[in-house]
Amino acid sequence: MGLVNGLPAHVLLVHFVVVLVPLTALALTAGAILPSVAQRMGVVLPLLALITLVSVPLATDAGEWLEEHVGNDALVRRHAELGDGLLPWVLGLFVLSAVVWWAARRTAAAGPDASGGTRWSALPVRAAAVVLSVVVAAGAVVDVYRIGDSGAKAAWHDGFSKTATGTDGDSR
């Protein structure tokens, strides 16, 4: 995928990633910490994570096309290297979202007696799911920030003046 309506597809697709990764991370964290939230979200949680998972390789592939069509630049290479590291984080978001959804569904199917209290044997598993969810969500969001920051630096490093040009109509 190279161009969309004359613009590099990466410039458009990256916005899905920038929005969906933090949204999925927030939904996963809320669902892992509060099973009632996961029950209310239902299948939306793993579907959101799946859409997020699909958006990352699309943006990465479009970014690789763009990388081949811009000059050889260390900032662009750094951005591409960082971008290649996002997929494992997003795969983790997807897997954990599916696990949290499945656990919430199983708890809801067990009936109101099961959701009122947690069996002691399930407590370590639930605690591990919460910790993993928080760690993977935080890692994914931080990685998206780092990738976006490097991309902005690559795109704008010489593209603007640090001082105002005075073209806003002010004739002083």
Tens digit of pLDDT at every position of the chain (172 positions): 788 888 999 999 999 999 999 999 999 999 999 999 999 999 999 999 999 999 999 999 999 999 999 888 899 999 999 999 999 999 999 999 999 999 988 877 776 554 455 554 478 888 999 999 999 999 999 999 999 999 999 988 876 666 777 666 555 4
Give the torsion sign (CA, 155, 157, 158, 164): positive
Encoded tokens for 136: 């993977």
The rounded distance, in Å, linking the Cα atoms of 125 and 129 is 6
Please report the pLDDT score of residue 120 as a whole number: 40
Partners of residue 3 on adjacent β-strands:
8
Encoded tokens for 61: 């592939």
Please report the pLDDT score of residue 166 as a whole number: 64
The rounded distance, in Å, linking the Cα atoms of 93 and 135 is 10
Please report the pLDDT score of residue 168 as a whole number: 60
Please report the pLDDT score of residue 49 as a whole number: 98
